[in-house]
């Protein structure tokens, strides 16, 4: 049995296939496994709490894990150790989530492209057709992650408290969420996964994205992302497209295309759920 895993900070999808690529059961979903934010103990707890994973762990021979927070050596090693302790018989490969975005969005395996992931967090890399090049090391949700779910969550909360929201949007926002200061601070500073908590607010943005305020907020956040991340690859942008993976990018397609036209680069493919592209990639390469 082969397990293909796509993990963000909010959720983690596990798909079991045989060596011919045939899916063996329904997709398994757990909480997100981000080793840059969660402790080893917390990571192990999430995996051990899944009855579905317990049932199949002895049958898994290969596991391909793509995850947020796995872009630097220490958290990547932690994630590998946690998985190896649970799936004792499996050969395990751990890659950062940007590689999942690459394999999910490329039009063909040796295509060169700038590839962005925009979900709970965000990142951007250049794939030259063989090797992934990362010019900015992510420092996580508190300092980076422009145009991500947690970025927009922060912007919405700040605009609410700074009285920068239009009144109708403000009323709808406080109706949908608990906006008491103590409740927000408890979730940000006393609970695990504050980035995922912030990203939950992004749903409201897309429910109201046709409003002038939301349209401007999305475009403003994406311009910051372009300046800080995509424009790290200005030379490459002259000849290659920019692909996008993740729910924030997928639901912001209209605004992304408009800003790309404004800032002068070519947009390529969009993939809402990288796991679907990963399934195709590994199915092709299993035999």
pLDDT tens-digit profile of 26-67? Answer: 899 999 999 988 999 999 999 999 999 999 999 999 999 999
Please give the pLDDT value at position 20. Answer: 80
| Residue 240 located in a structural domain | no
Please give the pLDDT value at position 287. Answer: 58
User: How many CB atoms sit inside 10 A of residue 224's CB?
Assistant: 13
Q: For the chain, give the mean pLDDT.
A: 93
Phi then psi dihedrals of residue 125, to 5 deg: -140, 170
CA angle 71, 234, 246 (to 5 degrees): 45
CB 158 within 8 A of CB 179: no
Examine the pLDDT at 201 and tell me if it is beyond 80: yes
| Residue 237 located in a structural domain | no
Alpha helices in 114-252 (DSSP H): 149-161, 167-176, 181-189, 194-199, 202-207, 212-228, 234-237, 247-251
Please give the pLDDT value at position 217. Answer: 97
* 35: region left, alpha or beta (phi > 0 left; psi from -120 to 50 alpha): alpha
Give the CATH number of the domain where residue 282 resides. 3.30.420.40
| Residue 45 located in a structural domain | yes
| Residue 157 located in a structural domain | no
| Residue 131 located in a structural domain | no
Please give the pLDDT value at position 168. Answer: 95
Residue with tokens 């009285």: 163
Q: Rounded to whole angstroms, how far apart are CA atoms 253 and 243?
A: 11
Examine the pLDDT at 8 and tell me if it is beyond 90: no
| Residue 138 located in a structural domain | no
72, with CB counted inside 10 A (0-12, 13-18, 19+), is middle
Residue pLDDT, tens place only, 91-114: 999 998 889 999 999 988 789 999
- Number of separate domains in the chain: 1
| Residue 143 located in a structural domain | no
pTM > 0.85: yes or no: no
| Residue 122 located in a structural domain | no
CB 34 within 8 A of CB 68: yes
Question: In terms of Cα–Cα distance, which of 145, 273, 164, 141 is closest to 221?
Answer: 145
Question: Domain span at residue 17?
Answer: 2-101+275-286
Residue pLDDT, tens place only, 118-172: 988 899 999 999 999 989 988 888 899 999 999 999 999 999 999 999 999 999 9
């Amino acid at each position: 049995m082969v397990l293909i895993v796509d993990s963000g900070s909010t959720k983690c999808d596990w798909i079991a296939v045989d060596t011919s690529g045939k899916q063996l059961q329904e997709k398994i979903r757990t909480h997100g496994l981000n080793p840059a934010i969660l402790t080893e103990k917390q990571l192990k707890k999430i995996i051990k709490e899944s009855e579905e994973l317990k049932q199949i762990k002895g049958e898994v021979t290969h596991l391909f894990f793509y995850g947020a927070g796995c872009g630097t050596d220490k958290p990547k090693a932690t994630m590998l150790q946690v998985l190896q302790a649970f799936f004792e018989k499996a050969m395990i490969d751990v890659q950062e989530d940007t590689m999942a975005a690459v394999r999910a969005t490329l039009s063909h395996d040796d295509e060169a492209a700038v590839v962005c992931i925009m979900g709970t967090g965000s990142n951007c890399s250049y794939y030259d057709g063989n090797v992934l090049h990362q010019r900015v090391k992510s420092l996580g949700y508190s300092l980076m992650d422009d145009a991500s779910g947690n970025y927009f969550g922060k912007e919405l909360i700040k605009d609410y408290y700074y009285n920068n929201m239009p009144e109708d949007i403000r009323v709808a926002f406080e109706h949908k969420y608990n906006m008491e200061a103590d409740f927000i601070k408890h979730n940000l500073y006393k609970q695990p996964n504050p980035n995922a908590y912030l990203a939950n607010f992004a749903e409201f943005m897309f429910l109201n994205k046709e409003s002038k305020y939301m349209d401007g907020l999305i475009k403003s956040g994406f311009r910051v992302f372009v300046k800080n991340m995509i424009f790290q690859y200005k030379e490459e942008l002259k000849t290659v497209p920019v692909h996008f993976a993740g729910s924030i990018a997928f639901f912001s397609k209209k605004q992304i295309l408009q800003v790309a036209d404004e800032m002068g680069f070519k947009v390529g493919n969009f993939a809402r759920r990288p796991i679907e592209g990963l399934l195709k990639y590994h199915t092709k390469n299993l035999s």
